[in-house]
Amino acid sequence: MTGKPQTSPAQTAPDLSGRIVISVDAMGGDAGPSVVVAGIAKSAQKNPEIGFILHGPIEQLEPLVARKKVLKDCCEIRDVRDVVTMEDKPSQIMRRGKGTSMWAAIDCVKNGEAAGVVSCGNTGALMALSMLRLRKLPGVNRPAIAILWPSRNPQGFNVMLDVGADVKADAEDLLQYALMGTSYIRNSMDLKCPRVGLLNVGTEEHKGRAELKEAYQLISRNAEAANYEFVGFVEGSDIPGDIADVIVTDGFTGNVAIKTGEGTASLLRSAMREAFEYSFLSRVAALLAYTSLARLSKRIDPRRVNGGVFLGLNGTVVKSHGGADATGVSAAVKLAFRLAQQGFAEKLAARVASAVESTQDDATSTDSNVDAPISRAAGDHRQ
């Protein structure tokens, strides 16, 4: 944390009634608040229904917001003096983070002023504060971060979770991820019966770590009740593939996987750029192929899918990439807005609750030996 831990009342307050309000932590991104303000200005231009409550030091935010006319009537600034840095440990922030822009931004969701919150800041701190202020949904042990990943699926994306909320997950957590991930994709992409894959080092049932074999059984047994299809173990190559819509894994593996994918995509993009700048002929070719290349570029642009959603909390939290530019911030805001429009937080809560109920019903109505792990998973609300 930096700065003095104090907050002061709102300095500018346009009327946000009639809008879907998104609370935005202006601080903590790699490029500072100017990129965040540019991002919400982009969003405001495209979606006049969005209202913003922007949190951070007013002397930094006011001049930035003043320069964007589109924000004049839809953006309220809340002066918060303190900032969570990338170096702050989550445990410190939970104890002493009350005066930070991140805390204030989350509290707007807690107290019902906003329908969702967006932050580019420290992921660990954002998850810790979100859990502290919003609390976990009943039935959820470890919340997870879900992202969309470009894939060969008809919808163009897969959902993967957890990509970094926690470095570990046991079998029951992995079952919860399957339930939350299917709810997320079902609501946001209109898939009736999503296919769930469990990430492993091979597709054979005997492979991998012990907790994965246990999770395999749990996720398989809950498929019918929770209305998803379990395709079994999948491999890293299936993350951008088309055999599953939801990829379930622990936060350590998921985080390494998405960052490897991002790094590889970025390397290929540079290699492609170099190839087209190599000779006169290739530069002419690039001009001719301009439209095709632009379309390709858009399809594989990681900024389009910027925004990890925290699943398993009482409220919608979107984590934007720390290095996001204005386009990236705008994508994260759009995601929070879309989820708010759909009442996703409420639907997810209902989904998890009904899964807990239905698996409990199953456990009592069938052979108790076979279903023991299910009732254990459903009954264990270690909050």
258 lies in the site for a second copy, by CB under 8 A? yes
156 lies in the site for a second copy, by CB under 8 A? no
Expressed in angstroms, the distance from the first to the final Cα of the chain is: 28
Contact residue for a second copy among 5, 49, 138, 278 (CB under 8 A): 278
Residue pair 158/240 in contact (Cβ under 8 Å)? The answer is yes
- Pick out residues in 231-250 that bind a second copy (CB under 8 A): 235-241, 249
- Pick out residues in 109-148 that bind a second copy (CB under 8 A): 124
Binding-site size, a second copy (CB under 8 A):
66
Residue 9 Cβ vs a second copy, minimum distance, rounded to whole Å:
35
Contact residue for a second copy among 201, 350, 353, 372 (CB under 8 A): 201
DSSP letters, 289-351, are THHHHHHHHHHT-GGGG--EEEESBSS-EEE--TT--HHHHHHHHHHHHHHHHTTHHHHHHHH
Of residues 126, 55, 68, the one with CA closest to residue 322: 126
Tokens of 338: 């879309």
Residue 86 Cβ vs a second copy, minimum distance, rounded to whole Å:
8
**Which CB, 278 or 383, lies closer to a second copy?**
278
CA distance 103 to 105: 5
62 lies in the site for a second copy, by CB under 8 A? no
**Which CB, 60 or 153, lies closer to a second copy?**
153
Over the window 297 to 316, marking each residue x when it contacts a second copy by CB under 8 A and - when it does not, the resulting string is: --xx----------------
Contact residue for a second copy among 174, 199, 333, 349 (CB under 8 A): 199
Residue 251 Cβ vs a second copy, minimum distance, rounded to whole Å:
7
Strand partners, 150: 157
Residues in contact with 297: Cβ distance below 8 Å, sequence separation at least 6, in sequence order: 269
Residue 174 Cβ vs a second copy, minimum distance, rounded to whole Å:
14
Query: With 0-12 CB in 10 A as exposed, 13-18 as middle and 19+ as buried, what is 363?
Result: buried
Residue pair 260/149 in contact (Cβ under 8 Å)? The answer is no
Any idea which residue has 């029951």 for tokens?
A: 172
Residue pair 228/246 in contact (Cβ under 8 Å)? The answer is yes
**Which CB, 10 or 268, lies closer to a second copy?**
268
Strand partners, 21: 51
Backbone angles phi, psi at 2, to 5 degrees: -130, 165
Contact residue for a second copy among 10, 13, 193, 289 (CB under 8 A): 289
372 lies in the site for a second copy, by CB under 8 A? no
Cα-based angle 296, 157, 293 (whole degrees, multiple of 5): 0
**Which CB, 282 or 383, lies closer to a second copy?**
282
- Pick out residues in 20-49 that bind a second copy (CB under 8 A): none
Stretch that binds a second copy, among 60-68, 84-92, 111-119, 128-136 (CB under 8 A): 84-92
Residue pair 106/100 in contact (Cβ under 8 Å)? The answer is no
170 lies in the site for a second copy, by CB under 8 A? no
Binding site for a second copy (CB under 8 A): 86-87, 89, 124, 150-152, 164, 167-168, 199, 201-202, 204, 206-209, 235-241, 249, 251-253, 255-268, 270-272, 274-276, 278-279, 281-282, 284-289, 291-293, 295-296, 299-300
